[in-house]
A and B are shown apart, each in its own frame.
Chain A
Amino acid sequence: MNLKNLGIGLLSIFFAVSCGKSEKKSGSNGALNKSHAEQVYVAPGEHDDYYAFISGGYSGNLLVYGLPSGRMFKEIPVFSQFPTSGYGYSEETKAMLNTSHGFIPWGDLHHPDISQTDGVTDGRWVFVNENNTPRIARVDLETFETVEVIEVPNSAGNHSSSFVTENTEYVVAGTRFSVPFPQQDISIKDYKGKFKGALSFIKVDQETGAMDINFQLMMPGFNYDLSHPGRGQSHGWFFFTTYNTEEASTLLEVNASQNDKDFIAAVNWKKIEEYVANGGGEMMPAEYAHNTYDHHTHVGKSEMKKEVRIVNPSDVPGAVFFLPTPKSPHGCDISPDGQYIVGNGKLSANLTVHSFPKMIKAIENESFDGEAYGIPILNFDETLAGVVENPGLGPLHTEFDDKGNAYTTFFITSEVVKWELGSWEIKDRKPTYYSVGHLTIPGGNSRKPDGKYMFAMNKITKDRYLPVGPELEHSAQLYDISGDKMELISDFPTHGEPHYAAAIKADKVAPNSRKIYRLDENEHPYAVKNEGETKVVRDGKTVHVYMSTIRSHFNPDNIEGIKVGDKVYFHITNLEQDFDVPHGFAMIGQNNSELLIMPGQTKTTTWEPDRVGVWPFYCTDFCSALHQEMQGYIRVSPADSDIELSWSLGEE
């Protein structure tokens, strides 16, 4: 009955919106006519066709959206503390934010990429990179939680990351800000030659998804901006755009924009993998954290790794080449068949496209135009496939559809341009609002793109939504790309700053999504399996509360014998085994976040009572009709009190 009312309510809102808009249809900004509204309208209770995993940028988190509706379903905490659930605050998850620099509460999440099998997205995991303190994380798509974070040593500005090879053999992380290698106390002016850019190839275990750095390719001190794997015919290669081949260390906006051409670095990782398998490279001291979360123990662990294998590119002849590419290329995008390598030269008037077969031929013919730090530079004309003439200003990123077309974003002219592979002809252009960065087509960087929708993620919002003061969320626009011309069909805000997104057909992911954690599989050391196991244990000034939750009470809910100066650990197990029945926990005066505990899960928070009295705690999640009654009291006595520890539930 309520659902029905809600449905009618939403319907009438929808009609009100669409009517209002069609009256203003003369407006210039992509008027929303009824057929467009129908295209993005997902009726109440219906599901979207696609999941979109949109980067949260400086929020440090990953956002889950539905397409075509543009509705947000979840914010997955990855690199930032998240008091909503207790991620990064709870005893179990603090380890996930550990690094060689210690605990870091925040991160800058950039490029989500979905795991692939045979060059097609498979919906097992999403990999994301942290740009500031270089890390790669893996999000599990059964639980939609962060399950692994690995720090990347010898790197800074972890930006040309976290893209996967076509069978998820590797997730790759490149260095944007080259740094001295090994790190040392030298003058910044000594940049040239002393600074290096590490390209890290992180091996992914196909069973568990576990990550381990296989090798770091120690490249010249350029800025490795973005990257993508070869696929199909070019599988086994990885391509990285570079800028600042001038190797400037100051005023880069001028000094790194002088060379007429920078490079795309082509790396034959299969060759280097073989070299490493035969004992090549050198294990060097390093310090980097490897954090893992276990869904049976519900506990995260942090391990500090002590060495990493370094490979010098000149030691593996034939493995690394430079493709000259005009003017500080940003995006580095590979066509679905693996034939074309698009360099989005952001200061160039034209788009440069290299050909993989021509590159191989140029290598065989040794068509070199010199070398840089021992790495051969291929002749520009020998690798060039074609040029898209005057497409716009400030090209950043390209994705592909399933009909032989490419779609490139132009930051400065604020538009998406559709052009054809092979003929290099421009087919269409549509404005974005405003200054687009990345764009996403589901599967648009795989062998099998799904050419139905494309969405552009913008850097500037201005007047797109109701004003909310100076600080705005960013805007995204969704286009229907199934026809000859792109059609703007919807506009929705995104959270944080979306740098790239990965989208996938919902039926590859939805059936695997878990509803609960099984209590009989809970191996948390402080878990209780039933209310009979609840207890309170004192160990000096530390008190462990083994507490349970079930609708609508905590057990125990009265505790006496806690003293000022104690450190109390609340280990709370949610005994529910019903879908979508979480319980929350918060304690007055707690210098910590709340906990949100899923059915079958155990989480731990701490409280250090600082004054005498009787203090309440309560359930923060409206769990049931008697949620308001889900509360308890703790008596705090003076430090020298001799009141015995006691706990109870339901004793008057």
Chain B
Amino acid sequence: MKTASTIMIIGSALLLSLFIYPLWVVELEAPQYPDGLGMFIHLNGLQGFTEFDLQNIDGLNHYIGMQTLPKAHEMWEFSVFPIVVGGMAILGIIVGFLGFIGKISHNWFLYWLILMTVLGVLGMFDFNAWMTDYGSNLDPNAIIKVTEPDGTPFSYKPPLLGSRDILNFTAISYPGTGGIFLTIGMFLTFIAYLVGFKTNKK
């Protein structure tokens, strides 16, 4: 049980890396941007690859009538997400510690993971909803208006994961370093549960 609890503590502590590293990355590729153009999505706001990337993405997007990228204070997510992730990390560490001193069973590791997964899925839904709005809620007076062959307006929504061609750009989305640590961390908490389960059986 001590091994399982230690893995639980490490796994949930890995969530804290999200306070340093980005959760997600959205990259835009076009011939005119040989050095790349893109942004890191952190828990508490957006950051360009270089200092002026966000401004330059907004500059390009004004042609197709997209909203400007949100500043940290313009979206509630950027103030709530850090609290949720920080809270869950601390909760996971406490659960692990209590398991370590034998106060609670390994089942609590699984409860923590289920809660974290539910919150994670909710977060993904929220993120996807924002991207859908960002990519399709366009200025009716946009300079360039593109429609699908069936007449519906073209959506500029970047993909949640993977790549998509959007006019002259290819948008590529993938987890950032923080997102990878988050995944590993959650996976470790599941291992912690399994190890705890096996230890208890003996």
On A, residues with C-beta under 8 Å from B are: 1-3, 516, 550-551, 576-579, 625-626
Taking the closest CB of chain B, its distance from the CB of A131, in whole angstroms, is: 41
Q: Which residues of B contact A516 (CB under 8 A)?
A: 52
Contact of A578 among B56, B143, B144 (CB under 8 A): B56
CB within 8 Å of A: which B11-35 residues: 31, 35
B125 within 8 A of A: no
B143 touches A551 (CB 8 A): no
- Counting from the closest, the 3 A-B pairs by CB-CB distance are A577-B52, A578-B56, A3-B31
A1 touches B52 (CB 8 A): no
A577 touches B31 (CB 8 A): no
Interface string of B47-90 (1 = CB under 8 A from A): 00001100110010001000000000000000000000000000
Give complex CA distance A26, B55 in Å: 59
Q: Which residues of B contact A578 (CB under 8 A)?
A: 52, 55-56, 59
Interface string of B126-143 (1 = CB under 8 A from A): 000000000000000001
Give complex CA distance A421, B192 in Å: 77
Q: Which of A1, A550, A576, A577 has the most CB of B within 10 A?
A: A577
A626 touches B59 (CB 8 A): no
A551 touches B31 (CB 8 A): no
* Chain A residue with Cβ nearest B144: A625
Give complex CA distance A576, B60 in Å: 11
Taking the closest CB of chain B, its distance from the CB of A171, in whole angstroms, is: 36
A577 touches B55 (CB 8 A): yes
Q: Which residues of A contact B144 (CB under 8 A)?
A: 625
Q: Which residues of B contact A1 (CB under 8 A)?
A: 31
Q: Which residues of B contact A576 (CB under 8 A)?
A: 59
Give complex CA distance A626, B56 in Å: 16
A550 touches B143 (CB 8 A): no
Interface string of B111-151 (1 = CB under 8 A from A): 00000000000000000000000000000000110000000
Q: Which residues of A contact B31 (CB under 8 A)?
A: 1-3
Q: Which residues of B contact A2 (CB under 8 A)?
A: 31
Q: Which residues of A contact B59 (CB under 8 A)?
A: 550-551, 576, 578
* Chain A residue with Cβ nearest B55: A577
On B, residues with C-beta under 8 Å from A are: 31, 35, 51-52, 55-56, 59, 63, 143-144
Give complex CA distance A626, B142 in Å: 13
Query: Can you report 20 residue pairs joining A to B where beta carbons are below 8 Å apart?
Result: A1-B31, A2-B31, A3-B31, A516-B52, A550-B59, A551-B59, A576-B59, A577-B51, A577-B52, A577-B55, A577-B56, A578-B52, A578-B55, A578-B56, A578-B59, A579-B35, A625-B63, A625-B144, A626-B63, A626-B143
Q: Which residues of A contact B63 (CB under 8 A)?
A: 625-626
Taking the closest CB of chain A, its distance from the CB of B36, in whole angstroms, is: 12
Q: Which residues of A contact B55 (CB under 8 A)?
A: 577-578
Taking the closest CB of chain B, its distance from the CB of A628, in whole angstroms, is: 12
Taking the closest CB of chain B, its distance from the CB of A377, in whole angstroms, is: 61
Give complex CA distance A625, B144 in Å: 10
Taking the closest CB of chain A, its distance from the CB of B118, in whole angstroms, is: 42
Give complex CA distance A1, B52 in Å: 26
* Chain A residue with Cβ nearest B56: A578
* Chain A residue with Cβ nearest B34: A45
Give complex CA distance A625, B60 in Å: 10
Give complex CA distance A38, B159 in Å: 43
Q: Which residues of B contact A551 (CB under 8 A)?
A: 59
Give complex CA distance A2, B31 in Å: 8
Give complex CA distance A2, B34 in Å: 13
Give complex CA distance A579, B50 in Å: 11
Taking the closest CB of chain B, its distance from the CB of A624, in whole angstroms, is: 8
Give complex CA distance A579, B51 in Å: 12
Q: Which of B31, B35, B56, B59 has the most CB of A within 10 A?
A: B59
* Chain A residue with Cβ nearest B143: A626
Q: Which residues of B contact A625 (CB under 8 A)?
A: 63, 144
Give complex CA distance A420, B15 in Å: 69
Taking the closest CB of chain B, its distance from the CB of A566, in whole angstroms, is: 33
Taking the closest CB of chain A, its distance from the CB of B54, in whole angstroms, is: 10
Q: Which residues of A contact B51 (CB under 8 A)?
A: 577
* Chain A residue with Cβ nearest B51: A577
Q: Which residues of A contact B35 (CB under 8 A)?
A: 579
Give complex CA distance A576, B31 in Å: 19
Taking the closest CB of chain A, its distance from the CB of B76, in whole angstroms, is: 27
Q: Which of B35, B52, B55 has the most CB of A within 10 A?
A: B52
* Chain B residue with Cβ nearest A45: B34
* Chain B residue with Cβ nearest A551: B59
Taking the closest CB of chain B, its distance from the CB of A589, in whole angstroms, is: 30
* Chain A residue with Cβ nearest B35: A579
* Chain A residue with Cβ nearest B32: A580
Q: A576-B59, A578-B52, A625-B63 are in contact. List 8 more A-B contacts (CB 8 A).
A: A2-B31, A516-B52, A577-B51, A578-B55, A578-B56, A625-B144, A626-B63, A626-B143
Q: Which of A2, A516, A577, A578 has the most CB of B within 10 A?
A: A578
Taking the closest CB of chain A, its distance from the CB of B146, in whole angstroms, is: 13
Taking the closest CB of chain A, its distance from the CB of B77, in whole angstroms, is: 27
Q: Which residues of A contact B52 (CB under 8 A)?
A: 516, 577-578
* Chain A residue with Cβ nearest B53: A578
Q: Which of A516, A579, A626 has the most CB of B within 10 A?
A: A579
Give complex CA distance A2, B144 in Å: 22
Taking the closest CB of chain A, its distance from the CB of B140, in whole angstroms, is: 15
Give complex CA distance A579, B143 in Å: 23
Taking the closest CB of chain B, its distance from the CB of A227, in whole angstroms, is: 43
Q: Which residues of A contact B56 (CB under 8 A)?
A: 577-578
Taking the closest CB of chain B, its distance from the CB of A649, in whole angstroms, is: 14
* Chain B residue with Cβ nearest A577: B52
Taking the closest CB of chain B, its distance from the CB of A645, in whole angstroms, is: 28
Give complex CA distance A174, B28 in Å: 55
Q: Which residues of B contact A577 (CB under 8 A)?
A: 51-52, 55-56
Taking the closest CB of chain A, its distance from the CB of B166, in whole angstroms, is: 15
